[in-house]
Structure 1
Amino acid sequence: MTSAPTRDRTPGATLHDVGQVPWRDLTDVTGCAAAIPYLLAAIASGDDAAARTGVDRLRHRICQYGFVVGEATPATVPFLWHLAQRPQVTCRAQLLRLLRSIAGARQWETVAATSPKARRRHDDQLGWESAARRAVRDHGGAMPRLLADRDAELVRLAEELACLIF
């Protein structure tokens, strides 16, 4: 599996931009990443049950077990930041937890540290993991808005994430 180039997303990425990402050419932890736009749409839908199911399924695809990321993870991060800022999104706290998991993901880095052979064998995964962590940091411009939110749990999670990425 080789890493397909992903477009650099700006901090202002919106769900209107989701079609610009070659999802069918990317893989997530479970396989083809083509379902990711539908999961993002479910999260944005305003329907609490659909949003929570969408986050759970998305977590399984882009940060499985809370630490295994895939090729599509870095391309998904800007959309997570966008959704986390939208008051009408009912699962913003879960999105911040997902971003925190992605920012802390070091599964492949840990495996590669065991030997040069392991590093060569997992080169793609190392790249995806590094790019995912970088995407969380690079799109952290949303942090001031989240830190000023009225939801105390959201502010606490934003503070934890800020400590991890800055």
Structure 2
Amino acid sequence: MTAIKRSTPLEDLRHVPWPEMIDSTGSAEAIPVLLTTVARGDADTAGPALGQLRQRICQYGFVVGQATAATVPFLWELVRLPQVTCRVEILHLLRSIADARQWETTAAAYPKLLRRREKYVEWERDARHAVQAQRGVLRHLLDEPDHEIVRASRELAATLTHR
């Protein structure tokens, strides 16, 4: 008899070199703690943790960085977990990431940006691709009994369709 291995939420966090990445505050090493707090926390702790995470990976709601693409798969994982209390807000964050074009737009006007050591435009594209890569999750979320989840899923789906 073979035992079935049950994965725990965010099990793959340890496989990402967070300290080697940067977010809007510097080192991205706090991202796993914030994601874990969102996954395990009640509304009083999960919401503020997601707010901090948003500031780190999608500052001002439109500026993404190096750690954003690596974080997106974990956001998709969290949004699938019914016990996560801020799934609607996670869907809004994914939509903001999918809409992010700050660096790409700036580089069009100032091509010197493309020659910087920091790969801002590449990070932004990678983040958008990471959101697109798991858009199939939305099919399941559209069947949720929570109307806010369904609405946020439709809004994200519309954003991904128009890109």
| Sequence identity percentage | 52
- Are the counterparts in 2 of residues 102 and 132 from structure 1 also a CA contact under 8 Å? yes
Rounded Cα–Cα distance in structure 2 between residues aligned with 1:13 and 1:136: 22
Q: Does 1:42 align with 2:62?
A: no
TM-score (norm 1): 0.88
Between Structure 1 and Structure 2, whose CA radius of gyration is higher?
A: 2
Q: Counterparts of 2:116 and 2:32 in 1: how far apart (Å)?
A: 30
The answer to whether the aligner puts 1:148 opposite 2:143 as a matched pair is yes
Mark the runs of 5 or more structure 1 residues left unpaired by the alignment: 1-11
Whole-Å separation in 1 of the counterparts to 2:26 and 2:137 = 30
Task: Please tell me whether residue 30 in structure 1 is matched to residue 25 in structure 2.
Answer: yes
Equivalent in the alignment of 1:114: 109
Alignment of 1:69-148 (within 5 A): 69-121=64-116, 124-148=119-143
Instruction: Report the counterpart of residue 161 of structure 1 in structure 2.
Output: 156
Consecutive unaligned residues in structure 2, runs of 5 or more:
1-6
Once structures 1 and 2 are overlaid, which stretch shifts more, 118-127 or 13-22? 118-127
1:135 aligned partner, one-letter code: A
In the superposition, the TM-score normalised over structure 2's length comes to 0.90
Which residue identity lines up with residue 82 of structure 1 in the other structure?
E
The answer (yes or no) to whether the contact 2:9–2:39 under 8 Å persists in 1 is: no
**CA separation in 1, counterparts of 2:125 and 2:73?**
15
The aligned length equals 155
Q: What amino acid does structure 2 have at the position aligned with 1:90?
A: T
After superposition, where does 1:9-24 map in structure 2 within 5 Å? 14-24=9-19
Instruction: Give the superposition deviation at 1:121.
Output: 3.6
Instruction: Supply the AA of the counterpart residue of 2:72.
Output: V
Quote the Cα distance in structure 1 between the aligned partners of 2:8 and 2:20: 20
